[in-house]
Amino acid sequence: MHLDYNDPIVWLNHRYECDVKARNASVEEKFLSFFKPHESVLHVTDAGAGTGTNVCYYFDKFKHQQEWTLIEQHDSLVQACRQRLRKFADKNGYYWDEQEDQAQLIANDKRALIRFVNGNVDNLEELINLEEADVLVANAFFDLISFDQFDAMVEKLAQNNVAFLSTLNYYETSFYPFMEEDHQVVRWYHMHMKRPQPFGIAMGADCCEEMLDLLTQHRLMIEQESSQWHLKRGSTTMQHYILHFMENALNELSLTKEERKLCQHWFNQRKQQLHDRTLEVIVDHNDIFATE
């Protein structure tokens, strides 16, 4: 199988259906129910918007007129986001009007004004009007930022009474059939997530625990439940991606010769199981909704 592992857009497109199936229905219902009494335009900010999957997922679920601010720091993803939303509109027969820094998505009497913004959560106050914002959403994002970045962001949200929904927050990967090396290999993978980076140390696999601690410290009401990818036997594309990401990560660690030998044995076995369609992978996440 040939996959372009270096293209994040292709990866995000492949994972979309897994994310849709994994989103926790209970947390989603509480999120949507919270905004049912909302009578004015719903102002939604999407942090790390990627290719616009949250707009595609929630546009029809919201009964409101909507204003979306999509915050993304990578230009290539902003352009991919525009393209995906254009295709989403075409597929559903919605009206799509695109301008330089914003677009309109219209279905019958419901409209979403969509703003495309280059930036990240460190500059949240400069990118959106927090006094108007109703909710900040993010999908598979907060394991990539630091504890301090998240703390500063939540403080701003709490001060302005902005609700918070974060889906697909990573915390564990498991493999079947079981191998003795699993625990060690996954531990090294998690170590790589928390390697020093220019912005600090990402929360990585600790993001769920650290997010819940910080949200509690800011006295927010929290709903949280699991959201799981179950990549069954034969889910070869996603399994290829998981093994590739893990192998690349471990190659960047300063492991000993014996440790690298253990890794190579483990990856050889898992790749053979993938080829034989006997491999299953469970990726555990958490969905979190928090309000004042």
Report pLDDT for 259. Answer: 97
Report pLDDT for 5. Answer: 83
Alpha carbons 27 and 136: distance in angstroms, whole number: 15
Contacts of 214 (CB under 8 A, 6+ apart): 147, 150, 151, 154
Whether 87 contacts 56, CB under 8 Å: no
Report pLDDT for 1. Answer: 57
Whether 274 contacts 240, CB under 8 Å: yes
Alpha carbons 157 and 211: distance in angstroms, whole number: 13
Alpha carbons 154 and 252: distance in angstroms, whole number: 32
Total-model pTM: 0.94
Task: Name the phi and psi angles at 219, rounded to 5.
Answer: 60, 40
Whether 220 contacts 158, CB under 8 Å: yes
Report pLDDT for 4. Answer: 79
Residue 200: strand pairing partners:
197
Residue 167: strand pairing partners:
139
Whether 184 contacts 262, CB under 8 Å: yes
Q: What tokens appear for 26 in the block?
A: 């209970």
> From first to last of its 292 residues, what are the pLDDT tens digits of the chain?
567 788 889 999 999 999 999 999 999 999 999 999 998 999 999 999 999 999 999 999 999 899 999 999 999 999 999 999 999 999 999 999 998 889 999 998 899 999 999 999 999 999 999 999 999 999 999 999 999 999 999 999 999 999 999 999 999 999 999 999 999 999 999 999 999 999 999 999 999 999 999 999 999 999 999 999 999 998 999 999 999 999 999 999 999 999 999 999 999 999 999 999 999 999 999 999 999 8
Radius of gyration for the chain, computed over Cα atoms and rounded to the nearest angstrom: 20
Residue type for position 160: N
For residue 269, how far is the Cα from the chain centroid? 29
Torsion region of 168: left, alpha or beta (phi above 0 gives left; psi -120 to 50 gives alpha): left
